[in-house]
Amino acid sequence: MRIAAYSRPFPGELHNGDAYFIARFDHDKNLVQRVMSDPQATGLGLAREMVDLGKDDFALIAVVDGLGHGEGAAAVSAQILACLNNSASFDLISLVTDCHRVSLNTREQRWEYRWSILIIHWFNFSASVM
């Protein structure tokens, strides 16, 4: 199974507030690969990644939407992605708690865009587990 992610900035913006994070694990839930978008990258091109899952692999997929558009939304999304990327544990409760804490801290910063929407999902193709 192939998981693909595509993202682009809002028309007229150079920074993208939408982001993704994909982590692939083997059947024993050992981390094998992780890919993510870079919301701080500028330009009008698409961010795109593909991850191929073996029949016994697991994937953790996160979609991040920094509310608003442009640089502020991208900065919030980048902080959430950093939180996901630096996680020592891929426990869903810990991830959501840590990411929520990071998004609350953005209120102290100068950005108008303080919140983000985060969707995290574990997926195993062979077991049909979502």
Residue 42 lies in a domain: yes
Is residue 129, in this structure, part of any structural domain at all? no
Arithmetic mean of pLDDT, 111-118: 61
Tell me the average pLDDT across 20-38.
85
Mark 78-109 as b/e (b = at least 16 C-beta within 10 Å).
bbbbebbeebeebeeeebeebbeebbeebeee
Task: Please give the pLDDT value at position 113.
Answer: 47
Q: Containing domain of residue 77, as a range?
A: 2-124
Q: pLDDT (tens digit, 9 = 90+) per residue, 54-95?
A: 888 888 888 888 877 888 888 888 888 898 988 877 888 888
Domain-embedded: residue 26: yes
Dist. CA 96–CA 40, nearest whole Å: 22
Q: Average pLDDT, whole number, for the chain?
A: 78
Tokens coding 56: 């016994």
**Per-residue confidence (pLDDT) for residue 106, from 0 to 100:** 60
Residue 60 lies in a domain: yes
Distance CA(94)–CA(125), nearest Å, equals 24
